[in-house]
Structure 1
Amino acid sequence: MWRQSFGLLGKSYAYDTTGSCLLGKWLHIPLYTVPLCSAVVDVAIQDYVVDVAAELIYQNKRQISTEVLFVFPLGPNMAIYSFQARSEDAKVQAMLRDEVQQLHEATGGWENLEYLLDQSQYLGEVFACPLGTLSPGREVVVTLRYVQELPREPDGAAHFVLPRTLHPYTDLHAWGCRTSKLHYSLLLTASLQSPRGVVNVQANFALTPLIYTAQDRSTAQVSLAGGPPSHHDLELLVYYGDPTAVSAAVEKGDPEAPPGSLLGDPVVLVMLAPSIPETVIGQHQYGEFIFLLDTTFLEHAQDSLLFFLKSLPLGCYFNIYCYEENSVGIYPQSVEYTQDNLTEAMQRIPSISSSVGDTNLLETLRSVYNNTPRPRGHTRQLFIFMTGLPPDKEAIAAEVCRHRNSHRCFCFCFSEDSAALAMALARETGGEAAYVSSDNSMRVVVLKCLKQALKPAAEGVSLSWTLPHGLEVEVPGDTPQFIFQGQHRLLYAQIHGQAQDMTVAKGVMTLQYSLDGQDVTHSLEFPLCPQGDGRLAGHRLAARHLLMRLLPEAVSGSGDEPRHRAVEISLTSGIICPFTSYVGIRTPQRVTWYQRPLALLPPRQSLIPCQIVELRGSHKVSSCYPVSIWVPPGWLTAMRASWLALCQVTHGIAALPQRGACSKACKPPPPSISSLKYVDPVEFVLCSSICGRWYTEAIAECQELVALQNADGSWALTSGLASVLEVDENELKRKMPGEVMEPSIWATVLAVTWLHRHDKCYRDICELLEAKAVTWLCGQAVSQLDKCLEAANTLFGSSVKPSVFRL
């Protein structure tokens, strides 16, 4: 559980050595944690998916009763499908129900979740469930199950990290924390399975020897040896045999589910990881790069936009959209990246004052998706700049999700309120997101993302299947059109029908794609005999993918069928969606406060909120225990009321929010309809607004030089270049080696050499520009570069090495 003390934002809080929270100067409200006593964790890893079952025992060691709230942060691609809590006096069983709003109104205690929503230091989604009162010395046993897609390491290993809630060690890097031994026991066992065979397991903690449970080494077991580490996460790397560009494992369905249903049929777990070689930065490249900018950004960052455009490679396509109340495209559709088109684009960017109305990013996205065809052979990537949170964020999320397999989004937000949307758009499309706090840091961050966007990709990805008579395949969710270098994709294919003998039947899966204009084909034969331990991790993740495909249509109001289908899948798989809700059924097992005739009455059931909520988080505070805690809800309500009273007395100091208290009668906000729910806050990049003076000066020095560079990477020998280099133009011409027939060759060598002077460092902001320049030089006059470099070093008094020019 979340061992964290929820204090105030700003400066009106403090932590003492007992973990209490100090409010203001006079008011003291203690927030105590209920410690974890033991954890039993059973991990089942099948190729690149995992099913985790955990039993956690907590004990109230204080002398007074405590109200408790269980909070479980959700990681990327993770979904809880079962939850239960048992104590001596009560049992809470979380169940998925339809009609979310009615169930919200039927449950109490939402004000505590509302406070958690506002005041948490954690950013991202959490599963939260109030569990009632825990008496002194009593225990509560929490059982939960979740499934998760695992990341694939470059060497092919599946990477599993045990959540901090299941291993709440002390973070020694947090301020004010003290070293101590773990006060709980941990029993961890892992079963591993793959038709390719389990080759090896590595961990950052002591493991028992790997024990194979099948002769073909397709299944194995391993356990935690000794005590768990007290200062870091538990991580496992699982290696499989025959690493290829494609793998497939068949998971058997639920025998109790109807045949033909998602849970009843076998599901193929497919991993696609094409082998894509590196390319030289700056060379001719394919790709379509679309910049979506609001007018506030354009007012203050046209110089930065020039940096980005000059860093694009020859051979690509580009376009720029300026969205305000109406979206404006520089071109009707993307155009080839040439000097003429680049010059025209910079001239046509409107210089408009900042709009006071709503920014219309949604219509701009729809225009890009529906009205601008993608140039054939060019992967589409969007660079979205948001200075504020668009009012129609849910519709934007749904629109991007609908086209998630046809492009990538790189999102840059300039306000904290738009961070969650930026993260969601980037994650769902395989891109990146960044919070940018200054113009200087923005250039580095955007250029870093542009380097990622310039990586080569497998284009036109398609899968075909050859199966025995009587079987057919359906993929719940679209196959991605592109897979970029270093990426992998997990797909789930439902097998319909019945073959004569599934125990010996085999199927063939063929992956086809285009790489740098060449067609590539990978075929894999795999056994169709379903395997698995009945935990249905692949089936539940397939349900999650299918829900993601259904939700945009379900929320668009195009009919009831998509919504009914989404509700059915959610309820049968246990994976929550916007139309269903977790509701805890709390059943008192005995009446402890009255032992006479009333105690003979049957137990009374009550509904309690058991929600997945999006926490806003705060990077202004830190905690020794950032992952799991018992928070007493009664204190939360009192704390909020006291906090608001302090706000009135002190006239709103310490940046207190303006939302006001939430009474018992207040209703929660309507359920989110965004299908982009699974966001990894760890992957979000926070860029400091503090840049060194040398860095600011370096950007200013480079700005003029960048403005003079041509789209092909070259510079012309002009008075403007001489002014930037601080050398007289006539002297530049006199120093040009006699072997050089083209002045632009000499000018380009001078510019690159100037960037590499011994006392300067421009690599972060000029790497792409420099690479394009060197590529142009190598294609023009390799034989002249030695003499040019020697003359340039003499002119600048530098010692730039020939390797800079690939010599």
Structure 2
Amino acid sequence: MWHQSFGLLEKSYAYDATGSFLLGKELHIPLCTVPLCSAVVDVAIQDYVADVASELIYQNKSQISREVLFAFPLGPHMAIYSFQARSEDAKVQAMLRDEAQQLHEATGGWENLEYLQDQSKYPGEVFACFLGTLSPGREVVVTLRYVQELPREPDGAAHFVLPPTLHPHTLLYAWNCLTSKLPYSLLLTASLQSPRGVANVQANFPLTPLTYTAQDRSTAQVSLAGSPPSHHDLELLVYFGDPAAVSAVVEKGDPGAPPGSLLGDPMVLVTLAPSIPEAVPGQRQSGEFIFLLDTTFLEHAQDSLLFLLKSLPLGCYFNIYCYGETSVGIYPQSVEYTQDNVTEAVRRIPSPGSRLGDTNLLGTLRSIYNTPRPRGHMRQLFIFMAGLPPDKEAIAAEVCRHRNSHRCFSFCFSKDSAALATALARETGGEATYVSSDNSMTVVVLKCLRRALKPAAEGVSLSWTLPRGLEVEVLGGTPQCIVQGQHSLLYAQIHGQAQDMTVAKGVMTLQYRLDGQDVTHTIEFPLCPQGDGRLAGHRLAARCLLKRLLPEAASGSGDEPRHRAVEISLTSGIICPFTSYVGVRTSQRVTWYRGPLALLPPRRSLIPCQIVELRGSSRVSSCYPRTIWVPPGWLTAVCQSWLALRRLAHGIAALPQRGACSKACKPPAPPISSLEYVDPTEFVLRSPIFGPWLTKAFAECQELVVLQNVDGSWALSSGLASVLEMDEAEIKGKMPGEVMEPSVWATVLAVTWLHRNDKDYQGLCELLEAKAVTWLCSQAVSQLDKCLEAANTLLGSSVEPSVFRL
């Protein structure tokens, strides 16, 4: 979701008689909103891809001129590809250019103001463009287009949310939180398309009746009816005729683009969402679980590692790596999860005091990727990072190259490693967690393990049957595994030419293994390209390719990734670190007012329009009593643009005459990073609240966990008697006579102890308990009721039979 709506902002500063303003490190200059008068939004949804075109009209209703900045927070899976702002005086048209050196010159001095980013309360990426002066009563019209991947709901619906910038509601315009009327108009129209047919549309706001525009119901339209709601975002759920596990939609290419190019050839939008049943806790499961521990943090991670090892299911494979200057793998490759292998692995773990040198996570990852994984077992890495490795870009690039073959669950223990941890998890579909204390670590890692234990479709593969003359290329590759509850949206380009594309059909076959069984889905789809020419799928495919190329380019693996990224960016309109948006402003009628902007040429100038990364420090309420004050961190965007204008003003008029700047006069290129800034407080806010009970609960059950066998059972021993605070002889004497195996009685006692009336160890021992109950049910179902009765009497508890599935 978006942290704020923003939109058009005006700068508040100290004026002198000529209208100039002051900027300085000690002067906090907040930004206020310029009122939105009207918004016209046209949404085109094709299966799980959306293209949004919007026109926003803002008006300066104050009595003085305002310096205005347009700011648009970028949500997940979103990319802007067109921006324009126009007023009576000028027009700003954003264009992409491969001018990294010139961009560096235009944004000189940015590093001097970087400290201001830390003061922002709204972290994340924001598209920002400084538009200059808006006179009293004047309007500025902003035209913005973007594309976005839509999440798929469990029932197959495509979920679309209108960004708050296009519908600010009470976030920015309410005088108080009870205001019901909006001071702006909103016209929202949605066109829907799918070869499977549009079945239904649901929304949290009033809609006009669904109108079909094709006899086969493959296209439809719907609009906002009446006034928009004033207290929440607008959300649409689009249902298709067949919520199948596999779908394929062909989007036509750009007729003006050359054949064989990214935009020129048709694109197949593929949705893979196989139906995978929930796993039964405690049963055998496949999977390869690899734990990577920074040796500098080994002392704090050992207890959590023990809980992880004991919570793994039978049937899986595992290995442990302790990485430093050299890596120590407990086993040369993953081994089967057995009692002997776990005991040996625990014995081989280096002592907490040992140091292997500087962290070498990169070398450890390469060793793992070069080791074959057991057939039919999805690879999942649990990475514990105490600090930020020096080669973070190369690590991100290495993980990205193998993103389709595994998942990463990363745990960072310092704020500086949060960005890397998030990047590794995001690229592989895993999860990143910021751990603030030793006690919370075990609960956090077990929570991630529960997610990692969700069943998955293994060995995923796609095959295609197309008419003669056509071939297909899946951009970015096909994931080898798809986890229950998730889906994959792939982009496959069709190259070549068939005799008659209007009647030709293709066949796509999805194959995977589920619970040891081979599953096949085959669908036939028309090759006649669909779509309205807006190329949403093509642009999202470009965004996907750019995200894959960036880690390789940032890690310094040659010039080819950079050249390819520049080509894709300039072709599709999607920005990347090697290209820049430059607003070309053309004066239409009057010259600019006096002040710093008067340094600009009167007819034409370049305006930086850039993706700005804000570093948020905390979250605040979105319900304000009166004026909206955007935090001082927003000054970074203003200062960046203002300084760029000052730098450009001295030489921009001579650019057409002198041509490109020579290599001798070019400053060094700006650093390129594939790792976005991450606010560690977001990790803390997402983590469960750990009270004082956690430390005590952890200590109480830790000894019991040490004694459990990997199959889930406990042996009747003096160690177990010590944990239960009883005499071993007394425990043996209370064992029911019908019980033939002492370990059955011991395991019932252990599970009952975990469920005592005044205790709750669910967060720590849920997986351990499930495995123990499964073992009991396979050993002595007929004896469990009498064992439970005797255990309740011995321990003074009242555990229900349902705990043992009775």
TM-score by length of 1: 0.88
Contact kept, 8 Å, 2:7 with 2:72, in 1: the verdict is no
Q: Give the Cα–Cα distance (whole angstroms) in 2 for the partners of residues 766 and 635 of structure 1.
A: 46
Match of 1:203 in 2: 203
Match of residue 302 from structure 2: 302
Alpha carbons 1:43, 1:191 under 8 Å: kept: yes
1:48 is matched with 48
TM-aligned CA deviation for residue 345 of structure 1 = 1.6
Q: In the alignment, which residue of structure 2 is the partner of 1:170?
A: 170
| Alpha-carbon separation, structure 2, partners of 1:225 and 1:110 | 46
One-letter amino acid of the structure 1 residue matched with residue 519 of structure 2: V
**Which residue does 1:139 correspond to in 2?**
139
1:507 aligns with 2:511: no
State how far apart, in whole Å, the 2-side matches of 1:497 and 1:266 are: 10
Aligned to 2:15: none
Matched, 1:2 2:6: yes
Contact 2:268-2:491 at 8 Å conserved across structures? yes
Check 1:624–1:415 CA distance in 2 against 1; reply closer, same or farther (3 A cut): farther
Compared with structure 1, are the counterparts of its residues 681 and 229 closer, same or farther at alpha carbon in structure 2 (3 Å cutoff)? farther
Runs of 5+ consecutive residues of structure 2 not aligned to the other structure: 12-23, 649-666
Rounded to whole Å, the distance in 1 between the matches of 2:332 and 2:10 is 51
Helix, strand or coil for the counterpart of 1:479? coil
- Kept after mapping to 2: 8 A contact 1:458/1:514: yes
661-670 vs 754-763, which moves further: 661-670
What residue is the counterpart of 1:657 in the other structure?
Answer: none
| One-letter identity of the residue aligned with 1:433 | A
Query: What is the CA–CA distance in structure 2 between the aligned matches of 1:433 and 1:84, rounded to whole Å?
Result: 37
2:182 match: secondary structure: coil
Distance in 1 (alpha carbons) for counterparts of 2:399 and 2:634: 41
Q: Contact 1:81/1:145 (CA < 8 Å) preserved in 2?
A: yes
Q: 1:30 to 1:113 in 2, by over 3 A?
A: closer
- State the partner residue of 2:528: 529
After superposition, give the CA deviation of every residue in 1:519-541 in whole Å (9 maximum; x if it has no partner).
11110011111110000001111
Q: Which residue of 2 aligns with 1:733?
A: 732
Give, as a single letter, the amino acid of the residue that structure 2 aligns with 1:580: T
1:646 aligns to what?
none
Q: Which amino acid aligns with 2:485?
A: G
Partner of 1:539: 538
Does 1:485 pair with 2:484?
yes
Alignment of 1:344-355 (within 5 A): 344-353=344-353
Q: 1:84 to 1:458 in 2, by over 3 A?
A: same
Q: Is residue 2:92 matched to residue 1:88?
A: no
2:391 is the alignment partner of 1:392: yes
SS in 2 for 1:333: coil
Amino acid of the residue matched to residue 768 of structure 1?
L
**CA positional deviation for 1:680:** 12
2:703 — aligned with what?
704
Match of 1:650 in 2: none
SS of equivalent to 1:610: strand
- The alpha-carbon deviation at position 731 of structure 1 amounts to 0.9
Deviations 1:692-745 (A, max 9, x none): 222332222111111111111111111111111122211110110111111111
Amino acid aligned to 2:718:
S
Q: What is the rounded CA distance, in whole Å, between the counterparts of 1:410 and 1:607 in structure 2?
A: 44
CA–CA distance in structure 1, aligned partners of residues 242 and 800 of structure 2: 43
CA positional deviation for 1:181: 3.6
Question: Which position in structure 2 is the counterpart of 1:369?
Answer: 369
Cα distance in 2, alignment partners of residues 127 and 638 from structure 1: 10
1:411 aligns with 2:415: no
Q: Report the secondary structure of 2:261's partner residue.
A: coil
In structure 2, the residue matched to 1:221 is 221
CA distance in 1, matches of 2:689, 2:320: 29
Cα distance in 1 for residues equivalent to 2:604 and 2:329: 59
Mapped to 1, the partners of 2:112 and 2:72 lie a distance apart of 15
Q: How many residues align?
A: 764
Q: Distance in 2 between matches of 1:727 and 1:328?
A: 41
* Alpha-carbon spacing, 1:170–1:194, altered in 2? closer, same or farther (3 Å): same
Q: Identity of counterpart residues, as a percentage?
A: 84
1:587–1:745 distance in 2 versus 1, CA, 3 Å: same
Q: Deviations over 1:160-213 (max 9, x none)?
A: 1111221222259x9996656423222111110000000001111111111111
Q: Distance in 1 between matches of 2:301 and 2:556?
A: 39
1:633-683 C-alpha deviation (Å, 9 max, x unpaired): 999379999xxxxxxxxxxxxxxxxxxx99988999924342x66999999
Paired position in structure 1 for 2:656: none
Matches for 1:431-446 after TM superposition, within 5 Å: 431-446=430-445
Most deviating of 69-78 and 347-356 = 347-356
Q: Tell me if structure 2 keeps the 8 A contact 1:457–1:515.
A: yes
**Matches of 1:4 and 1:416 in 2, distance apart?**
32
- Which residue of structure 2 aligns with residue 254 of structure 1? 254
The structural deviation recorded for 1:262 is: 1.6
Preserved contact between residue 201 and residue 210 of structure 1 (Cα < 8 Å) = yes
RMSD: 3.4
Deviations 1:289-334 (A, max 9, x none): 1111112331223112211111111111111112223322222211
Task: Mark the CA change 1:391 to 1:37 in structure 2 (over 3 Å): closer, same or farther.
Answer: farther
Residue 231 of structure 1 aligns with which residue? 231
* Structure 1 residues 483 and 175: CA distance shift in structure 2, 3 A: farther
State the partner residue of 1:772: 771
The CA distance in 2 between the partners of 1:639 and 1:491, in whole Å, is 38
Unaligned runs of 5+ in 1: 8-22, 642-660
The alpha-carbon deviation at position 625 of structure 1 amounts to 7.2
TM-score by length of 2: 0.88
- 2:653 maps to none
Q: Which deviates more from structure 2 when the two are superposed, residues 687-696 or residues 719-728?
A: 687-696
1:456 aligns to 2:455 (yes or no):
yes
Provide the C-alpha distance between the structure 2 equivalents of 1:553 and 1:27, rounded to a whole number of angstroms. 40
796-805 vs 786-795, greater mean Cα deviation: 796-805
Partner of 2:663: none
CA distance in 2 between counterparts of 1:725 and 1:335 reads 33
Farther-moved stretch of structure 1 (318-327 vs 665-674): 665-674
CA contact (8 A) 2:325 2:358 kept: yes
Letter matched to residue 539 of structure 2: R
CA distance in 1, matches of 2:181, 2:358: 54
